[in-house]
Structure 1
Amino acid sequence: MSADQLVTVMERLLDLHNSLLEKAYQKTTVIEKGDIEALNTLIKEEQKLLPTINKFEQVRQQVVRNFLTPFHVEEENFTISTCLTYIDDSKKDKLADFREELLEVAQKLQKQNELNSELIKQSLQFVQMSLDMFYPKTPEFNYGPPKQSGPSTSNSLFNRKA
């Protein structure tokens, strides 16, 4: 396997992750506006991207494996970082840049997803609070005897045997 294939796969993975990050940013805007239909559309678009990302991740793993096998590298060291030690200098910088950018995008994506999750949680809390304001729970006042669950065992005058 050539270094060109590694660079191509990493470039494609970076593009896909950037697309996913853009969707995450769009979701933040949509959540803030409260547009549920647009949110559903964005979620569907994300769901279409995920299988493609998984496919390219599997391709990346296979390309790394094929690249490092001739160098007798142990399988647990099949990483892009290990590949960088065996690649010539012309492709090394480009691959290292893609690796760093992909790591940065993954971190940004994680932070953005956490933000979106928190925004949705706050929105649900707001909805619950609004419902509680419109339909408040009325407290039960106990001016009479306590209510009993199950069969009545009261000792009223009508239930006594004479």
Structure 2
Amino acid sequence: MSKAIIQLKEALRQEQQIYQGVLELADQKTLMVVRNKVKELEKLTLKEQQFIREISRFEQIRQSLLGHFAKEKELAEVPQNLSALLSFLPENEVEEIESLRQQLVVTIQEISEKNRLNETLINQSLDFIQVNLEALTQLETGNPYGEKADAKNKQTRQIFDAKY
């Protein structure tokens, strides 16, 4: 078995663990959005950014290992992705790498679905806030005397004091 393939399998396993961590964070973010815990949501977002940096690093490692494999096998071109790599491998290695690839695909799909849910929840929260702000900051409360009433009788409501 090729040294590059052994390292690639290990990198894929580690990358899967990182994506699992991202998925767990996405689940936690859903809870924080529902519970309106903004500070905790910010902390989770920072952790997520760390995971994203790790994922980027593993993408670079994977590309490097594909290059090493191409050198080892004296291929004219470096396989661009795992699917392209499979055509150069024996059947027993194909099955294991395909299984690892499929696990990654499933986890990434789950993350994507969870992120769409979180986005929907956040947008609903923002819409709710917007409706409440509009209700609280109406420019006019209405004029009980009709349109011809003196401008002095018009009342305005403000939630914020502009002096501060």
Equivalent positions of 1:3-152 (< 5 A) are 3-69=5-71, 70-75=73-78, 77-138=79-140, 143=148
Q: Secondary structure at the match of 1:2?
A: helix
Q: Secondary structure at the match of 1:68?
A: helix
- Alpha-carbon distance in structure 2 between the residues aligned to 1:14 and 1:105: 8
TM, length-normalised to structure 1: 0.79
Superposition CA RMSD, Å: 2.3
- Alpha-carbon distance in structure 1 between the residues aligned to 2:51 and 2:123: 25
1:68/1:83 contact within 8 Å kept? no
Letter in 2 for 1:74: E
- Alpha-carbon distance in structure 1 between the residues aligned to 2:16 and 2:74: 26
2:4/2:69 contact within 8 Å kept? yes
- Alpha-carbon distance in structure 2 between the residues aligned to 1:43 and 1:112: 14
Q: State the identity as a percent.
A: 25
1:13/1:56 contact within 8 Å kept? yes
Q: Secondary structure at the match of 1:128?
A: helix
**Per-residue Cα deviation, 1:87-128 (whole angstroms, up to 9, x for no partner):** 233332221111011111111111211111111111011111
- Alpha-carbon distance in structure 2 between the residues aligned to 1:73 and 1:140: 78
- Which segments of 5 or more consecutive residues in structure 1 lack a partner in the other structure? 145-162
Report deviation, 1:140: 7.6
2:29/2:41 contact within 8 Å kept? yes
Tell which structure's C-alpha radius of gyration is larger. Answer: 1
- Which segments of 5 or more consecutive residues in structure 2 lack a partner in the other structure? 150-164
- Alpha-carbon distance in structure 2 between the residues aligned to 1:103 and 1:71: 29
TM, length-normalised to structure 2: 0.78
2:4/2:66 contact within 8 Å kept? no
Shift of the 91–18 alpha-carbon distance from structure 1 to 2, 3 Å rule, reads same
Number of residue pairs the alignment of both structures matches:
145
1:31/1:120 contact within 8 Å kept? yes
Q: RCO higher in 1 or 2 (8 Å CA, sep ≥ 6)? A: 1
2:153 match: none
Q: Secondary structure at the match of 2:87?
A: helix
